[in-house]
Homo-oligomer: A and B are copies of this chain.
Amino acid sequence: MSGERGLAVARFVVRVIYADTDQMGLAYYGNYLRWFEVGRTEMLRELGMSYRQVEEAGFRMPVLEARCRYLRPARYDDELVIETTLVHRGRASLRFEYRVLRRTDGELLANGQTAHCFLDAEGRAVRMPPFFVELLDRAIRG
Q: Residues of A with Cβ closer than 8 Å to B?
A: 17-19, 21-26, 28-31, 33-34, 37-38, 41, 50-52, 60, 62-70, 73, 76-77
Contacts and interface: CB of A to CB of B under 8 A. Distances in A.
The A contact surface, by secondary structure, is mixed
Contacts of A21: 21-23
Nearest to A69: B65
A34 B17 contact: yes
Nearest to A30: B33
A52 B76 contact: yes
Given A33-B29, A77-B52, A66 B67 contact: yes
Given A24-B62, A29-B33, 14 more contacts: A17-B37, A17-B41, A18-B22, A18-B51, A19-B22, A19-B28, A19-B34, A21-B21, A21-B22, A22-B23, A29-B66, A41-B77, A50-B77, A62-B73
